[in-house]
Amino acid sequence: MSWLDEIKFDDAGLVPVIAQDEHTGRVLMFAFANRDAVALAAEKGTAHYWTRSRQKLWHKGEESGNFQHIKEIRLDCDGDVLIYIIQQDGGIACHTGRESCFFRKLVGAEWEVVDAVLKDPASIYGKHSH
């Protein structure tokens, strides 16, 4: 039995993955991975995911240069969620140019942006910002 067989992928063949900064513990992003993405992440040592919008394997950083170097891969108690503990190249995980994808905080009844853009997405991705 492979270690991959211990992961409970959903009906679509995906497992949720949380990317967490190895030093600060901050959650930088959330994505899904299929079996191939998890296997590649473990083999290559950099984060790989499955993009549902584009329906393809996604090597995080392939366009932006902001690769995620995996220090640990952890599986939760139910076997259905992974955490990639990572070192984030460029300090930017979000396609908006911010450190984390979780840059909005609920204040009263409105979402408040609480993290600054560290780099203009146009300079990361060219003319489009996904």
Q: Which domain holds residue 114?
A: 3-125
Q: What is the pLDDT of residues 86-103, one digit of tens each?
A: 999 999 999 999 999 999
Q: Is residue 100 within 8 Å of 115, Cβ to Cβ?
A: yes
CATH number at residue 79: 3.10.20.810
> What is the domain count for the chain?
1
pTM of the model: 0.91
- Percentage, residues of the chain above pLDDT 70: 97
Read off the pLDDT of each residue in 48-55 and give the average, rounded to a whole number: 96
Tell me whether residue 55 is in a domain.
yes
Q: Is residue 67 within 8 Å of 46, Cβ to Cβ?
A: yes
Tell me whether residue 130 is in a domain.
no
